[in-house]
Amino acid sequence: MTQSLSNDIEDLTEEEFIDSIGENDFVLILTEDGNLKTFLMPETYKDSDLPENISKIFKLFNVNNLESRTLH
């Protein structure tokens, strides 16, 4: 069962969350103190063709190069 938290944000179980990730979705995982731990993104995107809002979010976390990398 999902419970709406806000306009379009839902409280999902872990299984519902995983099942809800679409092939064109971006997923950001943050640490408890708000640092970016990792992210998932569609394979079809490169730096130059990211949606503007996604680019802005990545800039907030100082992610400037989307080639394969490990975040710590």
33-37 long-range contacts (CB < 8 A, ≥24 apart) are 35/61, 36/61, 36/63, 36/71, 37/71
pLDDT given for residue 36 in this prediction? 94
- Start-to-end CA distance of the chain, whole Å, equals 34
In the chain, what percentage of residues exceed pLDDT 90? Answer: 50
Q: Where residue 68 falls among pLDDT bands split at 50, 70, 90?
A: low
pLDDT given for residue 28 in this prediction? 94
Higher pLDDT, 68 or 1: 68
pLDDT given for residue 4 in this prediction? 43
Contact predicate 41/26, CB 8 Å: yes
